Amino acid sequence: MKEGKIFSTQLFLFYFIKSKLPQYSFVAPKNIFKSATKRNKFRRIGYNTLRFIPLRPGTGVFVYKKQSVTATLAEIKENISFILKKTDLLK
């Protein structure tokens, strides 16, 4: 990921490199989400959002920021879509 690009929105940092397969992950840091249930909930929200979006091949990591603790589901989906449009990963 050191050679990749970094994009930022209000709720996410997105690390991206080009690859042949679509591989995306979500990181919910322990210093932001104190309980494991919250970390897992926000990771699941991210994965479920990506499930319905047609993606081009690439490897990316979405890292939640502090502002995402109070974010709604719609705001999270909007930020993910914005990042994917910005990086040209939507089909």
Number of domains the chain contains: 1
Domain annotation covers residue 13: yes
**CATH code of the domain in which 78 resides:** 3.30.230.10
Sorted by sequence, the CB contacts under 8 Å of residue 17 that are 6+ apart come out as 1, 3, 4, 5, 58, 59, 60
Domain annotation covers residue 91: no
The pLDDT value given to residue 1: 65
Q: Would you mind telling me the total number of residues written for the chain in this entry?
A: 91
Domain annotation covers residue 47: yes
What is the value of pTM for the model shown? Answer: 0.90
The domain of 41 spans 5-86
Task: Tell me the pLDDT tens digit for each residue of 32-49.
Answer: 999 999 999 999 999 999
